[in-house]
Amino acid sequence: MNTEKLQEKIRQFVQERDWEKYHDPKNLVMALAGEVGELLEIFQWLTSEESNQVMKDPKTATQVRHEIADICVYLLRLSDKLQVPLEAAILEKLALNEKKYPTHLSKGVATKYTEFKTD
């Protein structure tokens, strides 16, 4: 995925519609949260097994794809507005998580890093 190319396409889409005035960081975060809520709504009352099968229904699969796309668009737009290089930020966070969750302590468990017993 070329995030810079996508950000440019989103930027052009916004500019053509004169929506820049609505795309401050606060509004983008709120829109992002709203889209995550719409994705959450699809999964809300499903069992774990049902959630694993959600893409087998074509209508639901389309809804899921569209909500994920909306989330990505707002995230890309937010990172663009705040000048956060998304790929670098992700790699930085993964490196931090590798230190917080070493394999020998975290493999196969959902324990938060603050609860690891290191003695």
- Quick: pLDDT tens for 14-48: 999 999 999 999 999 999 999 999 999 999 999 99
Per residue in 53-112, pLDDT (tens digit) is 999 999 999 999 999 999 999 999 999 999 999 999 999 999 999 999 999 999 999 999
Please determine, looking at this structure, whether the domain spanning 3-84 carries the CATH number 1.10.287.1080: yes
Non-local (6+) Cβ contacts of 71 within 8 A are: 32, 35, 36, 39
Query: How high is the pLDDT of residue 119?
Result: 65
Q: What are phi and psi of 16, to 5 degrees?
A: -60, -25
| Residue 77: CA count within 13 A, CB half-sphere | 26
0.95 surpassed by pTM: no
Query: How high is the pLDDT of residue 118?
Result: 73
Q: Where are the alpha helices (DSSP H) in 1-119?
A: 3-16, 25-43, 48-52, 58-81, 86-100, 103-106
Locate the domains of the chain by residue range: 3-84, 86-119
Tell me how far CA of residue 97 lies from CA of 29, 34, 91, 118, in angstroms.
23, 27, 10, 17
Query: How high is the pLDDT of residue 51?
Result: 98
Query: How high is the pLDDT of residue 11?
Result: 97
Query: How high is the pLDDT of residue 1?
Result: 86
